[in-house]
Amino acid sequence: MRIYLDNNATTPLHPAVLEALERSLRDVFGNASSIHKEGQSARRAIEDARESVASLIAAEARDVVFTSGGTESNNAAIFGVAGQDGRHHIVTTAIEHPSVLEPVTELERRGHAVTIVAASRSGVINAGAVIAAIRPETRLVSMMLANNETGVLQPVAEVARVCRERSVHFHCDAVQGAGKVDIDVSALGADTLALSAHKLHAPKGIGALYVRRGLSLDRHILGGAQERRRRAGTENVPLAVAFGVAAEIARDRIDTGALRDALERALLAAGFPIVINGADVPRIPNTSSVTFRGADAEGIVIGLDLSGVAVSTGAACSSGRIEPSHVLLAMGLTPEEARATVRFSLSRFTTVDEIQRTVALLREIVPRCVRQAKEA
């Protein structure tokens, strides 16, 4: 049996999600906009799912828009507000996902001013630094709830409060936080908030964007009147149903923190020359970013893979590229340290035995990768 410890990249389907997906694909084929029985049953299925996704973030269903995933949700929010008034300044952070950084870079190309706030060595964005970057012409602040590579939680509520006072739109990428920490979107203070289903044991290709009541974003996909005119296109009912079931399961959280801590303790006890990134600050409980000093992380990832364990170096989106992770570099790691960093991300299905087997394999693989890195 393989061991899957790359759940921040994506998660396997939960059996109950798969069952709901299959049932929906088979039985609920109607177009949710049609008035006949088939259409009505599709409508009911999608609205039940919306209710369940909204509950995950303590929102009301009508404020949740289904999208094709976290990337679309982030794009929809950022492009949806950036050009809405005469203010053309955007504040974001150096550790955001490319689905935030790329839209912001594109807006900069189109003439917007952009401030990118740096991260601390622990991977935290200083709330004061974000607040200090807000200017009278600031339209948007975009900040993630939890980082995908380190798991470090960011002080979003503090920043959101000031944004509200100054009438600045606050967007939160909560893709990695949802299901791992409690989210109450009102307490958090986000105007818009992005979610993705495939990080929660649901399929890829569906996500959601929370839009605070009364806000209207410039539309990014034009066409039919679906999703209260906020996102055109015939709804993908089975994927929405699957997301709904996954959100329900995610609300009953299983704390992976004890297992993650056991993994880190075992790595330290094994005497590896490691640094656990973000260990001194609050993190989501499933993520461990470990720098194996002097080693080649790619060698570790390949060695583990050949032995039946899936982990990753940095973010999946940047795998296949040689460049070290922009998140780790933003935290002040050297390129060598970033290239020596492995991400372990656990899920509700991870077991004690899997952690023990992974550590045992690392005891063989890491010394080999340190030697090879020295010889290279």
Annotated active-site positions, please? 317
345 neighbors 4 (Cβ within 8 angstroms): no
Looking at residue 151, the DSSP 8-state letter turns out to be -
Q: How far is the CB of 176 from ligand PLP (least distance, A)?
A: 5
Binding of residue 24 to ligand PLP (CB under 6 A): no
Binding of residue 97 to ligand PLP (CB under 6 A): yes
Stretch that binds ligand PLP, among 65-73, 241-249, 355-363, 368-376 (CB under 6 A): 65-73
Rounded Cα distance between 75 and 9, Å, is 19
226 neighbors 232 (Cβ within 8 angstroms): yes
52 or 176: whose CB is closer to ligand PLP? 176
Using CB atoms, what's the residue nearest to ligand PLP? Answer: 70
197 or 267: whose CB is closer to ligand PLP? 197
Token pair recorded at residue 307 = 């032995």
**From 176, 226, 287, 312, residue interacting with ligand PLP (rule: CB under 6 A):** 176
41 or 256: whose CB is closer to ligand PLP? 256
Token pair recorded at residue 193 = 């908030």
Binding of residue 173 to ligand PLP (CB under 6 A): yes
**From 54, 56, 70, 236, residue interacting with ligand PLP (rule: CB under 6 A):** 70
Task: Calculate ∠ Cα 40-45-50, nearest 5°.
Answer: 120
Binding of residue 314 to ligand PLP (CB under 6 A): no
Dmax over CA atoms of the chain, in Å, equals 70
Give strand pairing partners of 119: 125
Q: Which residues contact 16 (CB under 8 A, 6 or more apart)?
A: 245, 249
Q: How far is the CB of 250 from ligand PLP (least distance, A)?
A: 15
Cα–Cα distances in angstroms (integers) from residue 264 to residues 36, 79, 123, in the given order: 56, 40, 18
Binding of residue 207 to ligand PLP (CB under 6 A): yes
Pairing of strands 89-93, 113-117: parallel
Q: How far is the CB of 170 from ligand PLP (least distance, A)?
A: 16
| Residues binding ligand PLP (CB under 6 A) | 69-71, 74, 97, 99, 144, 148, 173, 175-176, 196, 198, 207, 317
